[in-house]
Copies of this chain bind each other. A is one copy, B any other.
Amino acid sequence: MKITIKHIGEMAGVSAAAVSKALNGHSDISEETKTRILEICKQVGYTRNEIARNLAKGKSNMIGLLIPDISSPIYSEVFKGLDIQAREHGYCLFLCDTNRDIELEKKYVRTLMEKRVSGIIVAPVSNSVDHIEEITRNSIPIVYIGGKVNDNMGNYVTVDNFYGSKTAVDYLIKLGHREIYMVCDRDNTKTMADRIKGYETVMQENNCNPVVYVDGAGRKWRESGYFQTKHILSLGKIPSAIFCSSDMVAIGVMEAVLEKGLRVPEDISIVGYDDAAFASLPTINLTTIAQPKFEMGKKTFNLLYKIIKSHNSDYKNREIVKPELVIRGTCIQLKGN
């Protein structure tokens, strides 16, 4: 039998209400009784019941977080940024790993509603979020994040992929490269489209011929980079640089390049995208575009917080953050420049 404020009240010779006030630091209670009550709580090891508390207050100070895969390093960093910010504002994050499964995503949204969370942050599994809004019916603030974000979603924070891509290719151009290919894995998101657009824009600005490979075989990540590059290298004409749609793709690209007996960066320069955890490992040392993951986490929480506080559940609070070039060892200055 757990001990309640009523018990504490009896022990202290006061009412339960008084105990509640003491516990919550209300002002309408004398310092003296307050300390006495608190003392007793400590002594008997009282632990307040959040469940009852939340019911009485009609809220839960929890924020639901839907993530496609927490073992993906990018999301775990975002999580940490969110977490620290949430704690600072007295909220708890409730993490749900949707495992890239729409059904599970729906199930979790329902769970979160039942738990009466104050808001939801979701990195959606798919480009459309109709299935989740159908459940929430506008009854709770939602902020979207992640690679699937697009303008059909209401509130979101995302990163400027067009800008990131431009930065990467600009850098390559500055290094004297002109034959720069882009290789992408299969991913029909706005994120990907923007990255490609950024690449094409810079190429055209510099009168270079854009060559983008998008995986037609439906492969993803490293596998996609590997096989596409194998194909490219078999064609005879070798680009001086390859810009990859992600670091995982870059890994596959490097693999194929090395296998062919070519060197990185001496023969081919490579730029990735994401700044995944492994990108900084010595034997990889990949030059790449860094997503400000931790920052994004913070910004996202702050945006949600603002919406919650303003009770303005209405649409289109958006924030776009800028990524950054991280120069490591996979690019080389072209001779004669």
Chain A contributes a number of interface residues (CB within 8 A of B) equal to 43
Contact in complex: A95, B92 (CB < 8 Å): no
Question: Is A258 part of the binding interface, using a Cβ–Cβ cutoff of 8 Å?
Answer: yes
- Tell me which of A77-85, A154-162, A177-185, A194-202 binds B: A77-85
* A73, A116, A137, A281 — most chain B CB neighbours (10 Å): A281
Could you say which of B50, B71, B80 contacts A77, with CB atoms under 8 Å apart? B71
Could you say which of B51, B113, B114, B284 contacts A60, with CB atoms under 8 Å apart? B51
In whole angstroms, how far apart are the Cα atoms of A73 and B110 in the complex? 28
Q: Which residues of B contact A283 (CB under 8 A)?
A: 251, 254-255, 258, 283-284
Contact in complex: B47, A114 (CB < 8 Å): yes
Question: Is A235 part of the binding interface, using a Cβ–Cβ cutoff of 8 Å?
Answer: no
Question: Is A45 part of the binding interface, using a Cβ–Cβ cutoff of 8 Å?
Answer: yes
Q: Which residues of B contact A258 (CB under 8 A)?
A: 282-283
Question: Is A49 part of the binding interface, using a Cβ–Cβ cutoff of 8 Å?
Answer: yes
Contact in complex: A254, B282 (CB < 8 Å): yes
Could you say which of B54, B70, B111, B278 contacts A278, with CB atoms under 8 Å apart? B278
Question: Is A174 part of the binding interface, using a Cβ–Cβ cutoff of 8 Å?
Answer: no
Could you say which of B47, B76, B99 contacts A71, with CB atoms under 8 Å apart? B76
Q: Which residues of B contact A252 (CB under 8 A)?
A: 282
Contact with B along A112-139 (1 / 0, CB 8 A): 0111100000000000000000000100
In whole angstroms, how far apart are the Cα atoms of A254 and B93 in the complex? 39
In whole angstroms, how far apart are the Cα atoms of A94 and B93 in the complex? 9
Sample (21) of A-B pairs whose CB atoms are under 8 Å apart: A45-B137, A49-B114, A50-B111, A50-B115, A50-B116, A51-B55, A52-B55, A71-B73, A71-B76, A71-B79, A76-B76, A80-B99, A83-B97, A93-B95, A251-B283, A254-B282, A258-B283, A281-B281, A281-B284, A283-B284, A284-B284
